[in-house]
Amino acid sequence: MTKYMLSAHSVEGQSPPPMSPEDVQQVTKQVLALEGEMKEAGVWVFGGRLHGPDTATVVRALGQQVITTDGPFVEAREHLGGLYILEAADLDAALSWAAKVTSIVGAPIEVRPFAGLPEG
């Protein structure tokens, strides 16, 4: 089994239409059901949604000095919005889970295997 990161991305200025409280409840219910399905299938490792990029702080070492700056590390319109870490049999299995995630959240999902980790 290989660990994969499924990352959801948002594009600045391309917000989805506002959702009613009922729509938010429905999407939340679908996400929780999918996460339950992942856990039952034994692929779930971790998942979480992130606050917006304006809440980011970057920490970097410059010689002996450590500097912190506000804002995301990358100056871009696209930002990481959330992620899942799954342990799947192969890339096809990870892509299948990504298809389910994107169908619910409506965001593009990038699927990448972790490098250098022993297979579970």
Query: Between 117 and 28, whose confidence is greater?
Result: 28
- Nearest CA among 36, 48, 52 for reference residue 85: 48
Residue 88 pLDDT level (bands cut at 50, 70, 90): very high
Mean pLDDT of the chain: 90
Going by pLDDT thresholds of 50, 70 and 90, the confidence category of residue 118 is low
User: How many structural domains does the chain have?
Assistant: 1
Assess if residue 57 is contained within a domain. yes
Per the domain annotation, does 47 fall within a domain? Answer: yes
What's the domain range around 54?
2-113
Q: What is the mean pLDDT of residues 71-77?
A: 74
CATH code of 30's domain: 3.30.70.1060
Q: Is residue 119 part of a domain?
A: no
Helices 91-105 and 21-41 cross at an angle (nearest 10°) of 160
pLDDT for residue 85: 97
118 in any annotated domain: no
Residue 48: band (very low, low, confident or very high) from pLDDT cuts 50, 70, 90 = very high
